């Protein structure tokens, strides 16, 4: 182990149970008027999909903007990121939502020294929320920006509405020929000690900023005041909230990332009207028209109320 490895922390790696293989990335049909829609963002190391309420959602490009993909936020819906390692080696994946690292809950500088997920060769996993322990997460949920996790912990920043996914390759091990274990530990520290000292804390709950739990729960249950503002013409922007607790087990592993990310994928989410203002046509009716053309609606559908 070389000296630089002392600054490396334990990384979070998904368990096999939480990392079932994703469906094959088959090419999806291009619907009428939707040439800018994509199923996934595909990089050199990883691919990223977005799922809202368990369903895949299309990713859009805005006219003249090629460094990010957009998707629609829907109030009170849970969303998740499906990430696949496209390589034959381990890859570290750093994810920030609204400018916060999804493992530690702290402001992210997109640094290789931050907490990240580690995917085995060709492995896929679904990142569903803010990690609160090795066993649980609090689900990502679309809320108005004022009730986002970043705002409620006093960490609102210029990355509100942004999701950044960085992928790092693993450093090649450096051989050392000196076999004196006592010298090695005195000079570089033991591996376990370094891991414990550098491990990042899990995301802190919003209550940590001093607001009472009952009051926070009331905020989640009663968004009427914000809805009134929206109906009155004052449109809010979306953020990612502190959702329900969900079992999502991971374990810690030793991973030394290279200094620079091989992939830097950027996603933006906005409400429907904001996407339209950006020149993005989400094409709701195209899905129905394409289904009619293919004859997929073959069975009786329940009547609407």
Whole-number pLDDT of residue 143: 97
Whole-number pLDDT of residue 305: 55
Q: How far is CA 198 from CA 110, 147, 268, in A?
A: 16, 31, 31
Whole-number pLDDT of residue 282: 78
Whole-number pLDDT of residue 296: 53
Q: How far is CA 289 from CA 175, 200, 286, 297, in A?
A: 61, 49, 5, 11
Whole-number pLDDT of residue 213: 36
Distance CA 51, CA 129 (A): 12
**Pairing mode, strands 60-62 and 91-97:** unpaired
Q: How far is CA 36 from CA 11, 39, 62, 243, in A?
A: 35, 10, 8, 31
- Residues contacting residue 207 through CB under 8 Å, at least 6 positions apart: 213, 216
Q: Supply φ then ψ for residue 213, to 5 degrees.
A: -65, -40
- Residues contacting residue 16 through CB under 8 Å, at least 6 positions apart: none
Per-residue confidence in pLDDT tens, the chain, 305 aa: 433 333 334 456 665 333 322 333 333 333 333 346 799 999 999 999 999 999 999 999 988 888 999 999 999 999 999 999 999 999 999 999 999 999 999 999 999 999 999 999 999 999 999 999 999 999 999 999 999 999 999 999 999 999 999 999 999 866 555 554 443 444 434 434 333 334 456 777 775 543 433 444 444 433 333 333 333 344 689 999 999 999 999 999 999 999 999 999 999 999 999 999 999 987 654 554 455 545 554 556 566 55
Domain boundaries, the chain: 3-294
Q: Which position has the token pair 């922390």?
A: 9
Q: Which two tokens stand for residue 229?
A: 């503002």
């Amino acid at each position: 182990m070389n000296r630089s490895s002392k600054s490396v922390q334990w990384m979070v790696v998904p368990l096999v149970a939480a990392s079932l293989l994703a469906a094959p990335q088959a090419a999806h049909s291009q619907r009428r008027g939707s040439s800018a829609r994509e199923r996934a963002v595909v990089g050199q190391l990883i691919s990223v999909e977005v799922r809202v309420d368990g369903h895949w959602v299309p990713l859009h490009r805005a006219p003249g903007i090629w460094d990010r993909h957009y998707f629609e936020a829907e109030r009170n819906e849970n969303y998740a990121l499906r990430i696949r390692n496209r390589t034959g080696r381990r890859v570290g994946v750093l994810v920030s939502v609204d400018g916060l690292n999804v493992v530690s809950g702290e402001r992210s500088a997109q640094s290789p020294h931050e907490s990240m997920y580690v995917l085995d060769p060709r492995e896929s996993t679904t990142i569903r929320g803010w990690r609160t322990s090795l066993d649980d997460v609090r689900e990502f949920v679309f809320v108005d920006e004022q009730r986002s996790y970043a705002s409620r912990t006093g960490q609102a920043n210029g990355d509100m509405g942004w999701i950044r996914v960085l992928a790092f390759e693993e450093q090649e091990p450096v051989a050392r020929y000196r076999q004196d274990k006592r010298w090695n530990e005195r000079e570089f520290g033991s591996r376990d000690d370094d891991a414990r000292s550098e491990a990042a804390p899990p995301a802190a709950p919003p209550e940590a900023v001093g607001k009472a739990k009952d009051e926070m729960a009331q905020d989640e249950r009663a968004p009427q005041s914000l809805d009134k503002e929206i109906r009155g013409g004052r449109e809010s922007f979306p953020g990612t909230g502190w959702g329900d607790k969900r079992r999502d087990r991971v374990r810690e592993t030793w991973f030394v990332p290279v200094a620079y990310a091989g992939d830097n994928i950027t996603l933006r989410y906005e409400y429907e009207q904001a996407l339209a203002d950006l020149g993005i046509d989400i094409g709701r009716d195209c899905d129905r028209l394409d289904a009619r053309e293919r004859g997929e609606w073959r069975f009786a559908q329940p009547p609407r109320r």
